[in-house]
Structure 1
Amino acid sequence: MAGPKRTKVQRARSGSFGDRTRSRTVLLNQVLLAGVVMVVALIALVSLFPGNTSLFLAGVLVVFFATAAAVAVPWNSIPAWVSALVPMLDILAITAIRESSPPSGFELLWIFPAMWLAGSFGLPGLFGGVSVVCALYLVPALAPDRDVTIATVILPFTIVALATTSYLTTHRSHVQRRLLDSQTGLLSTALARARQQEETLTEVLEAVDFGIIRIGVDGRVSLRNEAHGRLQSAGGATPDEELPAYARDGITRLSADDEPLARALRGETFDDAVVWFGEPGAPRRALTVTARRVHDDDGTDAGSVIVSRDITAELSAIRAREDLVASVSHELRTPLTSIVGYLDLVLDEDLSPTARRGLEVAERNAHRLLSIVSDILATTAADRSTIELSYQPEQTDLADLVASAVELHIPRAAERGIRFDTSGVESATAYVDPSRIRQVLDNLLSNAVKYNRADGSIAVGTTVDADHAWIVVRDSGTGIAPDEMPRLFERFFRSESVRKTSTHGSGLGLAISRDIVRSHGGEITLQSEQGVGTTVVVRLPARRRTPATSIGAP
């Protein structure tokens, strides 16, 4: 489609150009000849003319008549070949002038119409004009009563050479003009395409709901879409007003150098930096900001692109969920504290061995439950990426922890016919906090019982090598879908299949277990196959290492 259109445009442009220049060409060529003839006529009239004056004046009058026609006739409105009549008429007029006085050299005037015809009408004009001039000159010159000399042939060859030069020059000019027209067409097409792409890009940038800022190398903003303005105005600011920026917690004020725009201007790149814009207590927005450097085709730095997205609703929803969990956990911790206190008081009394043993079990589990509630409160602390847990590691035999944990879950597993296989448990000493690792075991065994099939099995094993101790829990349950595996350790995540059942859970067990294991310098991994079961492997340090004070510490 673009090719035919471009051809039509070029033809129209070339035709229009030819139409505009035809009258000008006729006028300029004819006026030039008329000026020379006028000078010659004036010289002839002032001096004693040695020839036929009447024939001379007739030729001059014909030239002036042709000049008047060149001025009066609208050559742009008539066929191009008609304008060739003017130089042909000039040739006849010059012939009359020459015949009025042959020795005067008036035949040199034939050069003007010959060059005109060659330059304006191509090869037909070249051959036609040269042929007519040479015939009018050579026929009388080669008459039997005249002598043929070198001077006889010099003029025809001169006219042929000059006419050919005029033709070649004009042809080269036309070729260059066509080349320029072609290049102009290509540039016009490229410009139109670039404008279309620019309009499309502008429409896309205005349609998206995230803000985009393009910053040049000189630090000036060269592009800013509407979404950026909407995000600013949503925070209560005018387009020219700068809102105060706060860190992810919404409380810590960012200095001017730490704001995303200033960091991008310094050449920094960053991903998903959360920034609150607006004063606390006032209308404000939370944006996640990403900055990237851009480069030209040759690798030269071309500035930065900053992309911002409004995540106010997302953070508000997360905070509301965490507040709810924290509120519920707080309500649980208050009565648990009372229960632990009263159990301590009762244990100070004189009790029978059986009653004391039962109360001690209740006290231990109350303490464990209170510790779990405290962990849940820690996980819901706003804007924290790690769980702040204290622990006291010591050399611990993992086999003892596994035995006590399995004993706790045997009654619940027996209700569904699930069997425990502890043949793989061997003595394995690790440098860990026993209460925290017991919490991990309880989470893993609880999941293995809850998500197992009836009459299934759970295999538990421990081992140790030179540097690490290992715990392996394998069940014969339903397994986990591959697309859900990457999210298993996210807080509050529960798989789609589990949500459709009556199995209860908070989605915190694996997240807390991983953070506890990592706080010891270990790692927890999980493999699962649907319909076959799930295997969890826990790696722990076998010897003492520099204790960490919080989960996520190196």
Structure 2
Amino acid sequence: MWRSLADDFALRRDGTEARMAVLQQVMLAVVVLVITAFAIIAAIPGDLTLFFVGVAMVFVMTIVTMLVPWNAISPWAVGIVPVIDVVAILFMRAAFPESGIALLWLFPVMWLSASLGLAGFLAANLFVWVSYGWVITAGKESAFSFALILLPIVTLAVSAGAYFSLRRFAAQRTLLDKQALVLGQSLKRTQHQEQLVTQVLDSVDFGVIRISPDGAVTVTNEAHARMQHALISADGHNRLPAFDADGQTPLVPERMPVARAQRGEVFDNQIVWFGAPDTTRRALSVTARRLRDTQGADAGTVVISRDVTAERTALLARDNVVASVSHELRAPLTAIVGYLDLALETEGIPEKVRGDLDVATQNAERMIQIISDILSATSSSKSTVDVTVSPENVDLQQLVLASAEAWEPSALERRITIFTDDVQPTHAYVDPARMRQVADNLISNAIKYGREGGSVQLAVYGDGVASYLLVRDDGIGLSPDDQSRLFRRFFRARTDVGGTGLGLAICRDIVRAHGGEIIVGSEQGVGSVFLVRVPAQVDVPLPPIDPEEALNMSGAITTAGRSDMEATR
């Protein structure tokens, strides 16, 4: 309570003292001027000398009020003016007792109560009551009436209203000042965070733009600006022409990444080439994602672009080299097959020689097929190989045993034993040449990546709906990260082992073309297992199966199972 009272007596300078003083005093001067004119015109009887003394005091204080720099002196000094006004009104009231001039005391009373707080409220009422009491005791009043006591009561009520209004206004102003302070601090934090975000966006080497829900671009970073500048043609006016991922198909404006994002589309890694073929070109990879605010409403789209010119150029060069080498290999192999066919047509050759020629012909044709797959794998297709299959009813046991026999010499070089005890008679509805390609690739990988002096276990079995080929080694195994990338083109778990990184990608697509899948399980330091699952009958689709359950059913001891479907998602 005492602190509240102390606050009421403490004056706070807010820079409005001069304006308030001039306003209050001018209003009083105008009213006094009107009363003076009326008194002169109406010739009201009274003490004119005393009346004009009071009028002169009011006008003198009005001039003083306009000249004094109240904002530069003590706030208590402004209280002198309304106190002198009380005295001036006292003289005017004494000059014309019946005129009601005492009502003018409301002006200084309100002023004191509103400008000086509790002290002004008490001082105003004290001066008015003392002045009014002096008038009454001096015998200047007529007989007792309600009007005699009404004036001090009204003065008290008005001054109280002004005082409490001041307190309410001060409380509201304090609250607004605190809120303004909080808002100011929040604004500074927001500006600081915005500056940090801008610095982060400008420090990255990929372009970022934000598109508002109405399609307007509202945020860009420096990297995006640099990329856009680099896409301007040599004349400095026109934008370089845009082409699709193949670098040849012109990209219509509706298919441009920003146009798609403005329509609300979401996409990943759209490749756009800028610049005509056979010229210096740039490739951008663009991704668009929708944004949501804290309420879940649409907040627009963020578009991220990366310069992938070097990457795409390197991939194109690699594909060109592989395609060129594969083409050069296929030509002589085709000639070899042709001459082998001629040799087989020669009459009188021994049966053993004919058998050897058959084996050579089959392997040469397999080499041509493999080369065709490599050419397909290095085409513009992102992750798959164009595979055609001609399935038929095949004895999977004989196919796998023949593949194991073919790879026996390679296994002996590394002192690896190939176990075929679990290769059971099993029929499958597959393309024999393609399935042999899968078996050869899995067995050769097991030998290459297996432990020297170890073993490779083969198993073939079926359940009437699906037929299975299992290849298990005791090699180094695969990490979870390697398992997730195992079926990607050109991925190799070890660079010290020969290979192109295409074998498993081709195997996966061959098996998928049959409507099957490859399941992989591996544990580092223990080994890996590959389980191929293909249809056993024509027009009988394979039901879904849990990869880990399939591996457990096969007897493979692994810590995790993963299908090729999951590995490439």
- The question of a shared fold, defined as TM-score above 0.5 by the shorter chain, is answered with yes
Aligned partners of 1:66 and 1:363: how far apart in 2? 125
Equivalent residue runs for 1:220-369 within 5 Å = 220-237=216-233, 241-349=238-346, 350-369=348-367
Gaps of 5+ in 1: 1-13
CA deviation after TM superposition for structure 1 residue 478, in Å:
2.1
Which one is further off, 385-394 or 508-517? Answer: 385-394
Aligned partners of 2:104 and 2:364: how far apart in 1? 126
Match of 2:104 in 1: 109
Please tell me whether residue 467 in structure 1 is matched to residue 461 in structure 2: no
Give the aligned residue type for 1:305. V
Counterpart contact for 2:442–2:471, Cα < 8 Å: yes
Match of 2:188 in 1: 192
CA deviation after TM superposition for structure 1 residue 462, in Å:
0.8
Please tell me whether residue 531 in structure 1 is matched to residue 525 in structure 2: yes
Match of 2:28 in 1: 33
RMSD: 2.8
CA deviation after TM superposition for structure 1 residue 469, in Å:
0.5
CA deviation after TM superposition for structure 1 residue 135, in Å:
1.9
Give the aligned residue type for 1:521. G
2:128 to 127, 133, 151: 133
Aligned partners of 1:239 and 1:302: how far apart in 2? 35
Please tell me whether residue 81 in structure 1 is matched to residue 79 in structure 2: no
Give the aligned residue type for 1:289. V
Give the aligned residue type for 1:408. A
Aligned partners of 1:327 and 1:197: how far apart in 2? 54
Which one is further off, 533-542 or 226-235? Answer: 226-235
CA deviation after TM superposition for structure 1 residue 399, in Å:
0.5
Gaps of 5+ in 2: 1-10, 542-564
Match of 2:442 in 1: 444
Aligned partners of 1:90 and 1:243: how far apart in 2? 83
**Helix, strand or coil at the partner of 2:532:** strand
Which one is further off, 524-533 or 372-381? Answer: 372-381
CA deviation after TM superposition for structure 1 residue 441, in Å:
0.9
Equivalent residue runs for 1:403-422 within 5 Å = 403-422=401-420
CA deviation after TM superposition for structure 1 residue 529, in Å:
1.1
Aligned partners of 1:47 and 1:541: how far apart in 2? 123
Cα deviation code 1:144-185 (max 9, x no counterpart): 998644332111101111211222333333333333333333
CA deviation after TM superposition for structure 1 residue 540, in Å:
0.7
**Helix, strand or coil at the partner of 1:489:** coil
Please tell me whether residue 99 in structure 1 is matched to residue 97 in structure 2: no
Give the aligned residue type for 2:51. F
Aligned partners of 2:40 and 2:232: how far apart in 1? 94
Counterpart contact for 2:383–2:488, Cα < 8 Å: no
Aligned partners of 1:91 and 1:239: how far apart in 2? 81
Equivalent residue runs for 1:148-159 within 5 Å = 148-159=144-155
Counterpart contact for 2:388–2:513, Cα < 8 Å: no
CA deviation after TM superposition for structure 1 residue 140, in Å:
4.7
Give the aligned residue type for 1:344. D
Match of 1:174 in 2: 170
**Helix, strand or coil at the partner of 1:387:** coil
Aligned partners of 2:479 and 2:213: how far apart in 1? 48
Which one is further off, 302-311 or 486-495? Answer: 302-311
Which one is further off, 376-385 or 78-87? Answer: 376-385
Aligned partners of 2:356 and 2:99: how far apart in 1? 147
Cα deviation code 1:107-131 (max 9, x no counterpart): 3332221121111111111111101
1:518 to 486, 495, 512: 512
Cα deviation code 1:34-54 (max 9, x no counterpart): 333333334444555544343
- TM-score (normalised: structure 1): 0.87
**Helix, strand or coil at the partner of 2:407:** helix
Match of 1:476 in 2: 474
Match of 2:549 in 1: none
CA deviation after TM superposition for structure 1 residue 470, in Å:
0.5
Give the aligned residue type for 1:130. N
Match of 2:179 in 1: 183
Aligned partners of 2:384 and 2:369: how far apart in 1? 17
Q: Aligned pair count? A: 529
Give the aligned residue type for 2:284. L
CA deviation after TM superposition for structure 1 residue 531, in Å:
1.8
CA deviation after TM superposition for structure 1 residue 537, in Å:
0.2
Change (3 A) 1:461 1:84: same
Aligned partners of 1:509 and 1:260: how far apart in 2? 34
Counterpart contact for 1:236–1:284, Cα < 8 Å: no
Change (3 A) 1:52 1:229: closer
Change (3 A) 1:229 1:35: closer
CA deviation after TM superposition for structure 1 residue 542, in Å:
0.8
Which one is further off, 267-276 or 193-202? Answer: 193-202
Match of 1:398 in 2: 396
1:491 to 485, 489, 492: 489
Aligned partners of 1:47 and 1:363: how far apart in 2? 139
Match of 1:6 in 2: none
Change (3 A) 1:390 1:140: closer
Cα deviation code 1:259-278 (max 9, x no counterpart): 33333333322222222222
CA deviation after TM superposition for structure 1 residue 437, in Å:
0.9
Aligned partners of 2:101 and 2:259: how far apart in 1? 84
**Helix, strand or coil at the partner of 1:470:** strand
- TM-score (normalised: structure 2): 0.85
1:165 to 161, 177, 189: 161
